[in-house]
Every structure is written in structure tokens, then in C-alpha cells.
Amino acid sequence: MTGSNNPSRSAQATDCDASMVTRERGQRQVFCGLAGIVWLHRKIQDAFFLVVGSRTCAHLLQSAAGVMIFAEPRFATAILQERDLAGLADCNQELDRVAAEILERRPDIKTLFLVGSCPSEVIKLDLAKAAERLSAAYRGRVRVLDYSASGLETTFTQGEDACLMSLVPELPALADTERSLLVLGTLPDVVEDQFQRLFADLGIGPVHFLPPRRASEFPPVGRGTRLLLAQPFLGETARALQGRGATLLTAPYPFGIEGTLGWLRAAADVWGIASERLEAVTAPAVARAKLSLGRQREALAGKRITFLPDSQLEIPIARFLSRECGMELVEVATPFLDRQLMEPELALLPTGVRLTEGQDVDLQLDRVRADRPDLTVCGLGLANPLESEGLRTKWSIELVFTPVHGFDQAADLAELFARPLARGALLRV
């Protein structure tokens, strides 16, 4: 869908760690925040996501998830009909009925999320009150929460931020005498297990992850909580956790060898772990990553890449591709630039790189056509048109769906960018 930040087009430059950041406001290409349900419902194994929206919402989720006909996913759409939109029907009665059917059919569900969409927000359906009402009705049986995943003014990864922020008031309190590490951001189970082993080998703990795998495992939070972000698009949740006493650790994000080492070092410093121990514990994983990454670097070194704003992963991924894969950054654009969360990453970008916050899609496409980069990272809506013009593209949403964090995934992350280049070379033969 196409949105607009501001009807007027303007650009303003500001200083950002010796780099110039251009702010663009205009027409945007955005992907709906409902997409976050696809990875969140896989992570929180006893949660159900009920989208209150249209048939378009339902089709989007089914297409994004690739759910086969015999599967029973833990998400659904309560479809708003014409009578609902016209105010001729009681939406709350229908919502209660659908929720009752879900909970009767799925007794394993412990948390029910009511997810707002563009249609439900247009008709001002109060899902917060609905969640309160259903929580009272099912007290002791299921927790009912609400959040908005509307794509009207957001990018698709903010759906996860809104979901996790709704969990913060539900988290138990950490005793003032205790200390723990809280890793924030959805990670595939295999990656979470890898990080858990590294933290254990370093002597860092206890370590909790948000979101947890089950609602019964909600992590405690308090003044002794040290917060480490695994995803850069969770600013609102991070600030909500800080409001409950957590201390945010400053670190790059765990993409590639350099980013993962810096990320682990931030926690190790707080726990008083010596640098020598960190190097010894991570040495085998670093050696494996360097060996695997070397093969991908041969395909990427010297290639020019442009990032269009979509996922908020653009800056840390650009840092990885530049510093560890030898790619040349033509432009790095991101939907929103949270300076608090991006400060360590910005310091690692090459001097003078063209940085853009926000989007005026016509102006950015004009620059892509003029620059002719070897690869453009963009949303689904822009990829096919650019491919038709002979420009190779990479879907940014793949960076969220694919395990790419940590040492053992560094080569897999690089391969995501090497693959379209190899495909393009074959097409030219």
C-alpha cells in the first residue's frame, strides 16, 4: 500500500556521527505490520493472534505464512463485513463469539492477542476495552491482550514492536537484589539456543528472551535487568522496559562476526568477563564463520548496493556487507532512524555514505536508476518493477524471515545477497 508522511516534499540534512542524514517525506511503499504475526506465532507457542480486519488482511496473512491447507495455524481473522463498517452490527458481540469459538477449539492457548488493522481502526473499534472484557470473562484461563498492526503510518516490523510492548505490563517483577540479562527481539529457536550456549560458556546469566517460547515463561524485569537488543526495530518496547527499571546496553546488532562479537562484549563487560575469556569462548565459532564467509565474500566484494527503506534492518546489515563482505554502499535508507539504538552501528559505517531517513519513493527510484547499483534491497512492491528495468533486487522481508543472527548464520546472511547476483549473471549468459 502507498502512504504519505507529508504532502510536501522536503529534504533536511543533519549531523549524525560525522555523516549527513537526508530526511525525506513523501509517498512511501510500506508493507503491513500484520506480517509480524507470521514469525511471532511461530515463536510464542501457546499464543493465538486474532486479527480484526478485512478479507484482504486474511489473504495477506495466508500468503505471507505459506500455510498449507491441512495446517492449523495459531492466527485467524475476524472479518469485518459491510454491516460492521456501516455501524449496523455490534462488532463486540461478534468478536466475543469468535473468541469463544477459538478458545473452545484450542484449549492449549494461554495468550490471545486481539490485533488491530486498518479497517478496525477506521471504524474506531476499541480493542483495548474488548481485551479487558474478555480477560475478565476468561480470568485464570487465558490472558487477552491487544495491539495495533495497522500499516497506515508504520513499517511492517513495527508490528512486532507493538506486540512486545503489550507484554511489558504483564511481565513479573525482578527482585531488586537480583540481576539478569534480557535479550529483546524474536529469534529462531536454533539461534536462541546458540546464544544461550555462548552466554552460559561465558558465565553470563540468568538470560531471558522476549518474546519467550511460552507464555508461562514470561521473563522478570526490574532494576537489575540488563537489556540487549537483538533487533533494531523495537524502540518502543525498549523504552517501556526502561520505564520498568531495565538498563539498555549499548552495542551493535549481532549480524556477522564483528556485530556478534560487539554484542556479546556489551554483556560480558557488565558481567566483568575478561576480553581473553570472550575471545577463547568465541574462537571456534569465529573460525567457522570466517571460513564460510570467505566463499561469499568472493561474490560480493566490490559490488555496489543500495538499500531502500523498509525493514529498519538496513543500517546494521549495510555495516556487515561493507566491513565484512567488501561491498560498496551507494545509499542506505531506513524508514526511521532511532539514534539511541543506532549509535554503535552508525559509527561503523564508512565515512561519507549517503544516509536517508524516511522515503519519497519517486525521488529514491530516480536515484536508483541514476546510480545503477549491482543490487537494490527493497520491499516487495518495488522489486518486480526494478527487475523489469534490468536491476537486480533483494526482498528486505527475507531478512526477517530467515535465521541471520550470530556467528553460524553470517555466511547464510551474505548468501542472501550473493544469490540474486549469481542469478543475474546467469540471465545475462
Cα–Cα distance measured from residue 334 to residue 303, given in angstroms and rounded to the nearest whole number: 20
C-alpha cell, 207: 538470560
Name 145's bridge partners.
Answer: 113
Confirm whether residue 32 is marked as ligand binding. yes
Same domain, 323 and 371: yes
Report the pLDDT value the prediction gives residue 82, as an integer from 0 to 100.
52
- At residue 390's C-alpha, the angle toward residues 386 and 395, to 5°, is 40
Query: In which domain, by residue range, is 103 found?
Result: 33-154
CA dihedral 343, 306, 380, 359 (to 10 degrees): 60
**Could you state, in chain order, the average pLDDT of each consecutive group of 10 residues for the chain (429 residues)?**
34 43 76 84 92 80 60 74 51 86 92 88 84 93 92 79 96 96 97 98 97 92 98 96 98 98 98 97 97 94 96 96 97 93 95 91 94 94 91 92 95 96 75
Same domain, 206 and 275: yes
- Cα distances from 130 to residues 44, 91, 116, 135, 219, in angstroms, run 22, 10, 11, 8, 26
370: Cβ–Cβ under 8 A, 6 or more apart, which residues? none
CB proximity list for 341: less than 8 A, separation 6 or greater = 229, 232, 235, 238
**pLDDT at residue number 15:** 37
Residue 77 and residue 32 in contact, taking contact as beta carbons nearer than 8 Å: no
**Cβ atoms 410, 257 nearer than 8 A:** yes
Does the annotation list 163 as a binding residue? no
Residue among 184, 167, 163 nearest 228 (CA): 184
Query: CB of 401 within 8 A of CB of 395?
Result: no
DSSP letter string over 287-352? HHHHHHHHHHHHHHTT-EEEE-SSSS-HHHHHHHHHHTT--EEEEEEES---HHHHHHHHTTSPTT
Q: Domain boundary residue among 235, 255, 279? A: 279
Prior bond of 211 cis (ω within 30°):
yes
Considering the domain boundaries, does residue 324 fall inside one? yes
Dihedral sign from CA coordinates of 102, 117, 183, 399:
positive
Query: Does residue 171 sit within a domain?
Result: no
The residues with which 75 forms a beta bridge, in sequence order, are: 49
Q: Does residue 170 lie within any of the structural domains?
A: no
Q: Are residues 271 and 298 in the same domain?
A: no
Contact 306, 369 (CB under 8 A): no
234 and 193 in a single domain? The answer is yes
Q: Rounded to whole angstroms, how far apart are CA atoms 64 and 66?
A: 6
Strand stretches in 55-140, DSSP E = 75-79, 111-116
Residues 267 and 339 in one domain: no
Assigned domain for 175 exists: no
Indicate if 209 and 125 belong to the same structural domain.
no
Q: Are residues 75 and 53 in the same domain?
A: yes
Domain limit, last residue, from 261, 279, 297: 279
| 423 and 294 fall within a common domain | yes
Nearest to 304 by CA among 325, 322, 327: 327
Whether 173 and 224 have beta carbons less than 8 Å apart is answered as no
The number of CA neighbours under 13 Å toward the Cβ of 127 is: 26
What string of DSSP letters covers 41-62? HHHSTTEEEEEEE-HHHHHHHH
**What is the predicted pLDDT for the residue at 56?**
79
336 shares a domain with 417: yes
pLDDT at 118: 79
Does 217 fall in a domain? Answer: yes
User: Both 265 and 311 in a single domain?
Assistant: no
- Element containing residue 128 per DSSP (H, E): helix 127-137
State the pairing for strand pair 354-359/375-378: unpaired
Q: What is the CATH number of the domain that holds 227?
A: 3.40.50.1980
- Together in a domain, 71 and 192: no
Dihedral over Cα of 120, 125, 128, 133: its sign: negative
pLDDT score of 64: 67
All three cell numbers of 111, joined, read 495468550
Same domain, 40 and 126: yes
Within-domain flag for 371: yes
Residue type (1 letter), 224: G
405 lies in some domain: yes
Is-contact 220 170, C-beta < 8 A? no
> What is d(CA 311, CA 20) in angstroms, rounded to the nearest whole number?
21
Count how many domains the chain has. Answer: 3
Name the nearest CA neighbour of 106 among 41, 54, 60. 41
Task: Please check if 118 is assigned to a binding site.
Answer: yes
